[in-house]
Structures are given as C-alpha cells and as structure tokens.
Amino acid sequence: MPKLKTRKSASKRLAKVTATGKMLRRKTLAQHLVKRKTQRTIKTSGVNIEVVPAQKKQLKRLTPYRTK
C-alpha cells in the first residue's frame, strides 16, 4: 500500500499532538496589525488551545502521520 500524503496546510495549523492524543492549535490574531490590538488580545493570542472535537476527525484524516 502506498504512503498517504499529508495536507501541508493542515499540518502547519497544528501546534502539536500530546501523548494523550489531544490536538493543539495556536489561537488567531497574533500575526500582524498588532499596534491596534489591546494588550489582553496580544497576550492571549499566543496560547495553544485544543482543537474542537468536530474538526478532530477531519484533521486526523488530513494529517495521517502526525496523529495518534
């Protein structure tokens, strides 16, 4: 059976997969136009949060070698 291809865009969106199988992603709003954003928004945007369960199944299919 041939190797499965990983969707690179989906792989880049995942920050990491924990040992227990949780998929973490970075929060949005951290990249550009930071001057006009509040300190609170900037501080909380650098945090990793868990992927929504509805998207977990889809991400497992798109990134076969990153998930457990």
pLDDT in tens, 8-67: 999 888 889 999 989 999 988 888 888 899 999 888 888 899 999 999 999 999 999 886
Q: What is the pLDDT of residue 21?
A: 87
The pLDDT value given to residue 5: 92
Q: How confident is the model at residue 7, as a pLDDT?
A: 93
pLDDT at 68: 62
Q: Give the pLDDT of residue 42.
A: 86
Contact, 59 vs 3, CB < 8 A? Answer: no
The pTM (predicted TM-score) of the whole model is: 0.74
Q: How far is CA 52 from CA 5, 56, 59, in A?
A: 23, 6, 10
